[in-house]
Amino acid sequence: MRYSLALLTAALVLVTACKKDDPEPTTTPTGTGGASPLTGSTPLGVTMTIDGAPVSFPIGSMAIMDNSSSGEISSPPDSSHKGYSVYVEELWNGETRFVCDLGRYPFLGLFPTDAQFFGFFPTGAIPYGNWETELNKVGITYWQPDGTEYSTYWSPDHPGETFRIDEVLEQPSIGLSSVKMRVSFNCKLYHEDGTGTFVTAIGSAVIAFQNM
């Protein structure tokens, strides 16, 4: 089984009911994606079909979402790089079922500023590819209930396949700032055995990354 990015740090994102007394953080939404605008309380989760069969992972009731990052630090004038991942894990058994990887993003310095971090995620299309070695690529991985892995990683070619960031909500913070996004995708996920067997994934997700 492949693990896409070496985890340097990880934070657990668990959606719970918001306290009425807690004020909404200052946010900056962009785009709509044809759905209700994102807010700080918009639920995270994944809704898709795998070869036409519905699969969903609503965060909080059925699953949790782990957020992680990895990177390479260089001294200016050389660029440093960061990559980000979200891992969706089932609550009842802790098994990872869905991962979305975004990377690599260049920046100058030891750690991205909030402005640099928010600039990594404009709305629009992102090509599938090797997010560990190429700039501005995305990967999706799905594990069936029996643990079989299917991923865009296992094929270098993705003609006609799409991934879009439809909407972004910037969430600045004195601590770890974050970005919530609504994404949509239509892609082939290839079997980890390298035989070329694939399933087709079509769906959308609301996911979040931290500047970590």
* Better-predicted residue by pLDDT, 73 or 188: 188
47, 198 Cβ separation under 8 angstroms: no
H-only helix segments in 45-184: 114-119
H-only helix segments in the chain: 114-119
Q: Omega of the bond prior to 2 within 30 degrees of 0, cis?
A: no
| pTM for this predicted structure | 0.82
The owner of tokens 């639920």 is: 43
Give tens-digit pLDDT for 64-108: 999 889 889 898 888 999 999 999 999 988 899 999 999 899 999
The owner of tokens 């070619």 is: 157
Which pLDDT value is given to residue 202?
99
Confidence at 175, pLDDT banded by 50, 70, 90: confident
Distance CA 187, CA 160 (A): 8
Which pLDDT value is given to residue 8?
35
Distance CA 106, CA 88 (A): 26
Half-sphere exposure of 188 (CA within 13 A, CB side): 13
Give the domain ranges of the chain: 26-36+44-210
The owner of tokens 């340097």 is: 8
Give tens-digit pLDDT for 118-141: 999 999 999 999 988 899 999 999
Identify the burial level of 202 via C-beta atoms within 10 angstroms of its C-beta, where 0-12 means exposed, 13-18 middle and 19 or more buried: middle
Confidence at 172, pLDDT banded by 50, 70, 90: very high
Confidence at 31, pLDDT banded by 50, 70, 90: low
Q: Is a pLDDT exceeding 70 seen at residue 191?
A: yes
CB neighbour list of residue 65: distance below 8 Å, 6 or more residues apart: 12, 13, 14, 15, 44, 59, 86, 87, 88, 89, 207, 208
Confidence at 34, pLDDT banded by 50, 70, 90: low
